[in-house]
Amino acid sequence: MRNKIKYHLEQLFTEWANEKVIEFFELPKSGSDRQYFRIKGKSKRAIGAYNSNKYENEAFISFAKTFFKNGLKVPEIYLFDKEKDIYLLEDLGEISLFSLLQKKPSDNRFDETIIDYYKKSLQELIKFQLTSAGSIDYSLCYPRGKLDKQSFLWDLNYFKYYFLKPTYIQFDEQKLENDFYKFSEFLEMADSNYFVFRDFQARNIMIKNDEPFFIDFQGGRKGALQYDLVSLLFQVRAEIPENIKQELFDFYLKELKKYITINIEDFNKYFEGFKLIRLLQVLGAYGFRGIIERKSHFLKSIPPAINSVNYFLKNSKLEINLPELFKSLKMLVEQEKNKKPIISRVREQT
């Protein structure tokens, strides 16, 4: 299968570049089953992609073309072979905002350069959320056109089945489901008429010519402004200090007010809820990719994620009562503190 993909991508590259392939190598996989390849000819280069999910491909291609047409910083789509599930897109290089963070010493990670990249990213985020929202073909969104109650319930159950249960946390299933429904209904009341990337975080922000560019928005759909802001500021592995989070949060609101009028009290109320749903969604992903699939990057992400759970529990301003969910989260934190950590137990089982 791999040789077949290579053959088709080389043909597509030759058709686009009008030159032969000189270099072709696969890029490391991350949190999806999509395959990416860096392809180089004599004078041109591109990223080749293969994804067997046709719906996801169509969403990504459509969104990318819309964003590019609107002057937003996304990779240009060169060619798309719908039948073979492959496409060529602009190569934005190898430097992501997250990779820059990883290279810096922990005591000086968020210097002026990094903070400036975050601020530029937030300015661009607002453009995606507002100025492109009206031109997106939401009928192509996969698996759902809106980040709504159903989407939230999927994420919550993803967390339950791929994180809570594999870590042997005891809970009352019906009471937890009751909390899930109440929480989902609360989140659905937020203003949700904007474009949501779904995974707006430092790994998906590439730095090219000293400017941020954005990738991996194939899961985008209509939703609330707060979701992507939370995804960026509260990315577990980025470990943004609290004072920097507040600075960036204030900057985002200041920029947002240039475009629309917002109710700060309502914005903050739902912001707390989106902090929690995003954290639970991330834990579900870490459980599936780390505990179930044993991928090391995701296993390493579990301890800082549980630290984030602990911080949320201690500082939560959530206005609704979710007793069984909070009880389960407290048990998760206590288990990590008092017993052998999850990452150690998983490694022992391999």
Q: pLDDT (tens digit, 9 = 90+) per residue, 273-303? A: 999 999 999 999 999 999 998 888 898 899 9
pLDDT at 105 (0 to 100) = 82
- Say yes or no to pLDDT of 179 above 90: yes
pLDDT at 348 (0 to 100) = 54
Pick from 148, 143, 151, 135: nearest CA to 62: 135
What domains lie within the chain, and their CATH numbers?
A: 2-89 (3.30.200.20), 97-349 (3.90.1200.10)
- Say yes or no to pLDDT of 350 above 60: no
User: Could you write out the three-class secondary structure of 133-186?
Assistant: HHHCCHHHCCCCCECCHHHHHHHHHHHHHHHHCCCCCCCCHHHHHHHHHHHHHH
- Say yes or no to pLDDT of 157 above 70: yes
Q: Across residues 187-216, what is the average pLDDT?
A: 96
At residue 57, the 3 state secondary structure works out as helix
d(CA 221, CA 195): 6
- Say yes or no to pLDDT of 55 above 60: yes
Mean pLDDT, all residues of the chain: 94
Q: Across residues 140-146, what is the average pLDDT?
A: 93
d(CA 162, CA 57): 26
- Phi, psi of 194, rounded to the nearest 5 degrees: -130, 165
Q: Across residues 215-219, what is the average pLDDT?
A: 95
Q: Pairing state of beta strands 194-196 and 211-214?
A: unpaired
**Predicted confidence band of residue 339 (pLDDT cuts 50, 70, 90):** low
pTM of the entire predicted model: 0.94
- Say yes or no to pLDDT of 336 above 90: no
**Predicted confidence band of residue 33 (pLDDT cuts 50, 70, 90):** confident
Cβ pair 46, 18 in contact under 8 A: no
* Neighbour-count burial for 258-276, b at 16+ CB within 10 Å, e otherwise: eeeeeeeeebebbbbbbbb
pLDDT at 197 (0 to 100) = 94
